[in-house]
């Protein structure tokens, strides 16, 4: 072997030896790193591992939480163990100090699903639904509402309108804490679709009547069901309330076709401006009560005292009974109703009977002024 070749070979041997020494040193450091708790944290540390997180993301999160000192070493160690692609998402409560080896074992095993039972009552609007979910620790109110009022997200679910109002079905759900808002909302919308489809299939005659006589699509059915939901807390009254509003829309003798329902005004002044981006001048003076300026407000698109027919969309999230009432109204000829102050209503077929009921139940027997209703 010539001298230049000998020197090249010697250089190669030295380089290879140094490389092996370097690899050995790195393996030793990683191995020793795995069994030493070097993080700065102590006590219970909560870490959220999002779905789809790889070793690098997990290492960054653990480093930020003070559970490990060198995220790069953790990533290499996880790769060495073949665990980098097996980390499971979840909300972890970790007792520190803890070694990287124990962390890898823990996150590969995953946490048991800590499902929380959350009940969404009937008739809540989407802001109230978001507040309930937030209070249960499922997702933040702000993030839920941003998603529920995102037209692109609404469209992705093949739903009409500017928000998910009306489609967040009231029920008891078992949900995972710290969930992605979109996953939570999709679960509620999916349940709505299931119940709505069941009711429509079980009531073909009523469904056909709504479609052929009133020209109602699904959105219109849900919108009127939300009004029925807000107008009474008595399940047995819902089919009759639904029939009153249907009568107002179909009877040629009832003109103008004003539903004249207070909950729509309230919604138009309190919730709708948040996704419509505008508030009527009268609603800017909202103090929690309906005044004459609100009843006479044409700038509120949800004002059913000044706008005929249905409002632009649902005003709450109707439950099964209210939706069923739309497909099975009771067939009576009533056009009016007034609260009897005991949770129920007095129904009337004529304006004269209605005015007499108003005097009896709302005015304490005091006669109405001429020209008032």
Weakest-pLDDT range from 23-37, 123-137, 219-233: 23-37
Phi, psi of 122 (to 5 degrees): -65, 145
How far is Cα 370 from Cα 26, in angstroms, rounded to an integer? 95
Q: Band of the pLDDT at 8, cuts 50, 70, 90? A: low
What per-residue confidence (pLDDT) applies to 132? 98
E-only strand ranges, the chain:
43-49, 90-96, 116-119, 172-175, 336-339, 345-348
Mean pLDDT value across residues 199-216: 97
pLDDT at residue 2, as a whole number: 59
Neighbours of 348 (CB within 10 A): 19
pLDDT at 372: 44
The pair phi, psi for residue 42, each rounded to 5°, is: -145, 155
pLDDT for residue 190 is more than 70: yes
pLDDT of 94 above 60? yes
Q: Residue 99 class from Cβ within 10 Å (0-12 exposed, 13-18 middle, 19+ buried)?
A: middle
Residue pLDDT, tens place only, 262-297: 999 999 999 999 999 999 999 999 999 999 999 999
Level-2 CATH architecture, domain 31-109: 2-Layer Sandwich (3.30)
CATH architecture of 116-192: 2-Layer Sandwich (3.30)
For residues 74 and 103, the answer to whether their CB atoms sit within 8 Å is yes
- Residue 316 to residue 165: CA distance in whole angstroms: 6
The yes-or-no verdict on residue 227 having pLDDT over 70 is yes
Question: Would you put residue 110 in left (φ > 0), alpha (ψ -120 to 50) or beta?
Answer: left
**pLDDT per residue over 310-341, tens digit each?**
999 999 999 999 999 999 999 999 999 999 98
Taking residues 226-242, report their average pLDDT.
95
Q: What is the rounded average pLDDT of the residues 232-238?
A: 92
What tokens appear for 113 in the block? Answer: 């699903």
Q: Where does residue 28 rank: exposed (0-12), middle (13-18), buried (19+ CB within 10 A)?
A: exposed
Q: Which pairs with CB-CB distance under 8 Å and at least 24 residues apart come from 132-135? A: 133/175, 133/184
- Alpha carbons 130 and 145: distance in angstroms, whole number: 7
Quote the pLDDT of residue 341: 83
| pLDDT in the model for residue 156 | 96
pLDDT, mean of residues 213-224: 97
Mean pLDDT across 346-356 = 93
Q: What are phi and psi of 2, to 5 degrees?
A: -70, 160
Secondary structure class of 188 (helix, strand, coil): helix
Q: How far apart are the first and last CA of the chain?
A: 116
For residue 97, say if its preceding peptide bond is cis, omega within 30 degrees of 0: yes
Q: What integer pLDDT is reported at residue 17 of this predicted model? A: 44
**What's the confidence (pLDDT) of residue 271?**
97
List, in order, residues 6 or more apart from 367 with CB less than 8 Å away: 359
Identify the band that residue 373 occupies on the pLDDT scale cut at 50, 70 and 90: very low
Q: Is the pLDDT score of 27 beyond 70? A: no
Please tell me the distance from the alpha carbon of residue 81 to that of residue 101, in angstroms, as a whole number. 10
Same fold, 31-109 and 116-192: yes
Structural domain spans, the chain = 31-109, 116-192, 196-361
- Residue 222 in 3-state DSSP? helix
Distance (Å, whole) CA 181 – CA 200: 29
pLDDT in tens, 33-49: 788 888 888 899 999 88
Mean pLDDT to the nearest integer, 46-70: 90
**Which two three-digit tokens encode residue 196?**
């709505």
Question: What are 116's strand-pairing partners?
Answer: 175
* Bridge pairing between strands 172-175 and 90-96: unpaired
pLDDT score for 309: 97
Say what the pLDDT of residue 90 is.
Answer: 84
In this prediction, residue 38 carries a pLDDT of 84
Long-range (24+ apart) CB contacts under 8 A made by 52-55 are: 52/89, 53/87, 53/89, 54/84, 54/85, 54/87, 55/79, 55/83, 55/84, 55/85, 55/87
d(CA 69, CA 30): 12
pLDDT at 22: 46
For residue 331, give both structure tokens: 């067939």
* The pair of three-digit structure tokens given for residue 217, joined into one six-digit string: 């699509």
Q: Is the pLDDT of residue 12 over 90?
A: no
Residue 91 confidence (pLDDT) above 90:
no
Q: What proportion of the chain, given as a percentage, has pLDDT over 70?
A: 89
> Looking at the predicted structure, is the pLDDT value of residue 84 above 90?
no
Least confident of 82-86, 294-298, 363-367: 363-367
Residue found by looking up tokens 């969930």 in the block: 179
Give the pLDDT mean for 122-144.
Answer: 97
Tokens found for residue 31: 């191995």
Provide the mean pLDDT of the chain.
Answer: 89
């Amino acid at each position: 072997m010539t001298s230049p070749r000998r020197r090249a070979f010697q250089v190669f041997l030295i380089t290879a030896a140094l490389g092996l020494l370097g690899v050995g040193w790195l393996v030793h450091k990683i191995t020793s790193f795995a069994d030493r708790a070097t993080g700065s944290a102590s006590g219970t540390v909560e870490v959220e591992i999002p779905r789809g997180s790889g070793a690098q993301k997990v290492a960054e999160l653990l480093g930020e939480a003070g559970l490990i000192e060198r995220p790069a070493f953790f990533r290499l160690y996880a790769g060495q163990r073949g665990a980098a692609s097996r980390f499971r998402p979840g909300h972890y409560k970790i007792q520190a100090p803890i070694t990287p080896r124990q962390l890898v074992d823990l996150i590969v095993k995953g946490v048991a699903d800590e499902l929380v039972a959350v009940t969404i009552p009937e008739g809540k609007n989407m802001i109230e639904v978001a507040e309930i979910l937030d209070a249960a620790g499922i997702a933040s109110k702000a993030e839920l509402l941003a998603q529920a009022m995102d037209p692109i997200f609404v469209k992705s679910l093949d739903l009409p309108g500017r928000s998910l109002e009306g489609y967040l079905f009231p029920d008891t759900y078992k949900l995972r804490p710290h969930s992605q808002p979109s996953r939570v909302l999709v679960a509620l919308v999916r349940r709505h679709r299931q119940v709505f489809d069941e009711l429509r299939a079980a009531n073909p005659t009523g469904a056909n009547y709504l479609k052929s006589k009133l020209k109602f699509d699904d959105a219109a059915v849900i919108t009127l069901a939300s009004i029925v939901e807000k107008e009474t807390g008595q399940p047995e009254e819902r089919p009759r309330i639904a029939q009153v509003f249907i009568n107002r829309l179909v009877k040629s003798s009832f003109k103008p076709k004003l539903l004249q329902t207070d909950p729509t005004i309230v919604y138009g002044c309190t919730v709708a401006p948040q996704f419509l981006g505008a508030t009527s001048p009268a609603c800017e003076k909202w103090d929690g009560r309906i005044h004459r300026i609100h009843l006479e407000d044409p700038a509120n698109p949800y004002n059913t005292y000044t706008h005929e027919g249905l409002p632009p969309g649902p005003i709450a999230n109707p439950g099964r009974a209210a939706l069923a009432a739309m497909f099975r109204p009771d067939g009576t000829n009533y056009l009016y109703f007034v609260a009897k102050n005991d949770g129920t209503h007095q129904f009337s077929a004529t304006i004269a009977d209605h005015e007499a009921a108003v005097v009896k139940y709302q005015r304490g027997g005091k006669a109405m002024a001429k020209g008032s209703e």
